[in-house]
Amino acid sequence: MINEFGHYVLVLALAVGLIVSTLPVIGARRNDRALMDVASLGSIVMFLLVALSFAALTRAYAVSDFSVRNVWENSHSLMPTLYKLTGVWGNHEGSMLLWLLILVFFSALVAVFGRNLPETLKANVLAVQAWICVAFLLFILLTSNPFLRLEPVPAEGQDLNPILQDFGLAIHPPLLYLGYVGF
């Protein structure tokens, strides 16, 4: 049930992203503060929804839920906990979700700490960020869904890529993504 919840909140994040990518731009053109304010609240909501989805996938890895295809393909019940958790982003689907999480995190930071920006600039910046998030959400949901189920449920997973079973390479993607998106 938690895995379906993770998928569902990604769909909700897409809906919020569509709203944030349109209403603030209209508000900036009309100088309508109420529509521009949608950008900040929506960006924070998108971050919370994507964070919940990422947490659901992380939980599936932590408990070795092999009913999730992504977990089955990239984990094993005997792996150390550290590598179970790094298995979340040690594959295409999880890596895309991590990238999206970091992207919406920085959008939320602009929403919270961008008080010194002109209102129209802030609304437009967050709307453009939302356009990018919508593109990633569509890609994840339509082609790289990390929450696909397996039936019947396998007894054991296939294991994480051996290259990623090294501490330095395990923390490499989050640090790299933080740098890319933060820049």
Closest C-alpha to 127, from 29, 10, 53, 49: 29
The pLDDT value given to residue 165: 63
The pLDDT value given to residue 163: 59
Burial pattern 139-149, b for ≥16 Cβ within 10 A else e, equals ebbeebbbbee
d(CA 78, CA 159): 9
Q: How many domains does the chain have?
A: 1
* Domain span including residue 113: 2-182
Amino acid symbol at 162:
P
pLDDT at residue 112 above 90?
yes
The pLDDT value given to residue 55: 97
CB count in 10 Å sphere of residue 62:
16
Q: Dump pLDDT digits (tens) for 122-150.
A: 999 999 999 999 999 999 999 999 998 88
CA within 13 Å, CB half, 149: 10
Per-chain mean pLDDT for the chain: 89
Burial pattern 98-128, b for ≥16 Cβ within 10 A else e, equals bbbbbbbbebbebbeebeeeebbebbbbbbe
Phi and psi angles of residue 149, each rounded to the nearest 5 degrees, phi first: -100, 155
pLDDT at residue 81 above 90?
no
The pLDDT value given to residue 161: 62
* Average pLDDT of span 34-54: 96
Amino acid symbol at 5:
F
pLDDT at residue 159 above 80?
no
Question: Is the whole-model pTM more than 0.85?
Answer: yes
pLDDT at residue 90 above 90?
no
Q: Which of 19-33, 73-87, 90-104, 125-139 has the least mean pLDDT?
A: 73-87
* Average pLDDT of span 153-182: 70
- Residue found by looking up tokens 């395990």 in the block: 170
Q: Which of residues 49 and 92 earns the better pLDDT score?
A: 49
Q: Give the confidence band of 65 by pLDDT, cuts at 50, 70, 90.
A: confident
Give yes or no for a contact between 103 and 136, defined as CB atoms under 8 angstroms apart: yes
